[in-house]
Chain A
């Protein structure tokens, strides 16, 4: 009894709101470097949540999700730098551009099974990389697209308390709001009947087809939605790092975001953001001591694969369940 009452009490606390508010205080209570880290975490969180719509919810292993991130980053960067389009238009355009590319590439990808699906997503992402790397006139080629202007955030001065914030802090707050809205949208999509159908397809595609679902159409829809939000994350990342470079789109970046998702726990909606937080924090801690971060990342991945498949959130949930079970046993 006590266990159940505690659970309802815990679930009544508006955790997401608390986390959002805590994240919003970073520019005031943290250093400039803290804001830098927080921006990275927030953007990575959106990228990883968008991937998890495919990986965890729909059961599609994409090894080329960075392509849509990259398309978004380039669309937003090119529009804002080359054509001086305001952010209000360039940001949605990035999502739209990534969604369009996801529609075209996904149309072919969802026709393939498992490993072939992974290979085709990898091929499409390398096509994006090859174009970004070689199309000098538009993408800047191997020099990339440096010095993308920040969006105009002077209007924030009108808000009390925002007057003496640096431009980086203001951009972080804008990023935080946009990412929170995007993640909320993804949360609604995941919990909608459409999201439930995706999970049905993940668990048993034959059965889903048998009860009359158009499996490919649902998978394609998930692919497009995931691509669009990855594009939004990419647009924010390009502005945050003040430039877009072909390296962002190399295939190993897709592996990194998968690791982030698994580290947090791909069976849980809030797993990927936790993974983003943990990975950025770990990276920052470990690179202070050693340059061999990939080695540490590989070791973490081994632990995850062999001992800890639920990730951090999975581990916490299992811990709570165990504690509740012990409490129930003691009460009885």
Chain B
């Protein structure tokens, strides 16, 4: 195989990986701190995509329409996440996991239909922002500028997340909450606000990633339940609750999918789910997580 072909395959896998990292990082944070698997994270992502489309329609002729729409989508979804956490989710923290899982699944059902009601069932699409239209040539392969932008955004968010979690006071509180909620509560920290903040931030990331995916993928109903299982795979590979783990988990996922297609055509879907199962069997806490 030609090196340029392998390179473009690698770049394709890396773009997928950075998208998934944007989505899965929020999922992983919520799991790490709140010990909740949030099925609705995929729905927040889908709403982000629809809101971005809506924003672009409103702001259409302007050059910066896409960026404003993306910000609008991320903030809108963050607001929704905050409302959901304050009104409903916080009443379920003491309950069994089953009820928490089912609550997030109820959100999947409700938000999925709400999106169908508001935006219909057809495909919608958004074009790349003018600055990032076009492509550059690297090693004899054409790489769209927009993909390169996403490849930069992923690591930037990972670094920012690492910095906030490990080098700031807020991050210390968040880490403390993930170790021992009761102790932190007893020490006088406002754990309720930390949880709300985490949920809002995680929803913000979901909304942002949904908005950023629109120039590459068309917006369709059902994108929520498809993306959430992929995000689960990534989070499981890296280790549920581990931020860097999620980053490397997405990189591994992207490459397995990208090269799996070459080795076993048609069975790349199988190989990523098999990878998820093997990791859960051998190291349930993931490649980079810590045992709980």
Q: Is the CB of A126 within 8 A of B229?
A: yes
Q: Is the CB of B269 within 8 A of A130?
A: yes
Closest to B280 in A: A120
Q: Is the CB of B280 within 8 A of A295?
A: no
Q: Is the CB of A299 within 8 A of B110?
A: yes
B189 to chain A, nearest CB (A): 25
Q: Is the CB of B274 within 8 A of A262?
A: no
Q: Give Cα A133–Cα B226 distance, bound, in whole angstroms.
A: 14
Q: Is the CB of A55 within 8 A of B280?
A: no
Q: Give Cα A111–Cα B114 distance, bound, in whole angstroms.
A: 39
Render A119-156 as a binary contact track against B, CB cut-off 8 A, 1 for contact: 11011101101110110000000000000000000000
Determine if A114 is an interface residue (Cβ-Cβ < 8 Å).
Answer: yes
Chain A residues with CB under 8 A of B97: 61, 114-115, 118
Which of A167-175, A227-235, A268-276, A300-308 lies at the interface?
A: A300-308
Which of B70-78, B98-106, B156-164, B197-205 lies at the interface?
A: B98-106
Q: Give Cα A55–Cα B113 distance, bound, in whole angstroms.
A: 28
Q: Give Cα A113–Cα B81 distance, bound, in whole angstroms.
A: 28
Determine if B5 is an interface residue (Cβ-Cβ < 8 Å).
Answer: no
B237 to chain A, nearest CB (A): 11
Interface residues of B in 69-96 (CB under 8 A from A): 88, 91-92
Chain B residues with CB under 8 A of A108: 277, 280-281
Chain B residues with CB under 8 A of A126: 229, 273, 276
Interfacial residues, chain B to chain A (CB-CB below 8 A): 35, 37, 39, 88, 91-92, 97-99, 101-103, 105-110, 112-114, 116-117, 225, 229, 232-233, 236, 240, 266-267, 269-270, 273-274, 276-277, 280-281, 284
B280 to chain A, nearest CB (A): 4
Chain B residues with CB under 8 A of A298: 106-110, 113
Q: Is the CB of A118 within 8 A of B280?
A: no
Closest to A61 in B: B98
Q: Is the CB of B106 within 8 A of A119?
A: no
Q: Is the CB of A127 within 8 A of B277?
A: yes
Q: Give Cα A217–Cα B12 distance, bound, in whole angstroms.
A: 45
| 24 contacts across the A-B interface (CB closer than 8 A) | A61-B101, A115-B35, A115-B97, A116-B280, A118-B97, A119-B236, A120-B281, A122-B229, A123-B273, A123-B277, A126-B273, A129-B273, A130-B267, A134-B270, A255-B102, A258-B98, A259-B102, A259-B105, A294-B112, A298-B108, A299-B110, A302-B103, A306-B88, A309-B99
Interface size on A, residues (CB 8 A): 40
Q: Is the CB of B37 within 8 A of A295?
A: no
Q: Is the CB of A112 within 8 A of B284?
A: yes
Chain A residues with CB under 8 A of B280: 108, 112, 116, 119-120, 123
Q: Is the CB of A134 within 8 A of B266?
A: yes
Determine if A292 is an interface residue (Cβ-Cβ < 8 Å).
Answer: yes
Q: Give Cα A89–Cα B286 distance, bound, in whole angstroms.
A: 43
Q: Is the CB of B277 within 8 A of A120?
A: yes
Determine if A297 is an interface residue (Cβ-Cβ < 8 Å).
Answer: yes
Taking a contact as CB atoms closer than 8 A, the residue among A118, A292, A299 that contacts B116 in the complex is A292
Interface residues of A in 255-296 (CB under 8 A from B): 255, 258-259, 262, 292, 294-295
4 extra interface residue pairs, beta carbon distance < 8 Å, beyond A134-B266, A134-B270: A124-B277, A259-B102, A295-B109, A305-B92
Q: Give Cα A299–Cα B138 distance, bound, in whole angstroms.
A: 51
Render A235-254 as a binary contact track against B, CB cut-off 8 A, 1 for contact: 00000000000000011100
Q: Give Cα A123–Cα B286 distance, bound, in whole angstroms.
A: 14
Given contacts A124-B277, A294-B113, A306-B91, contact A131 B102 (CB under 8 A): no
Q: Is the CB of A251 within 8 A of B229?
A: yes
A169 to chain B, nearest CB (A): 34
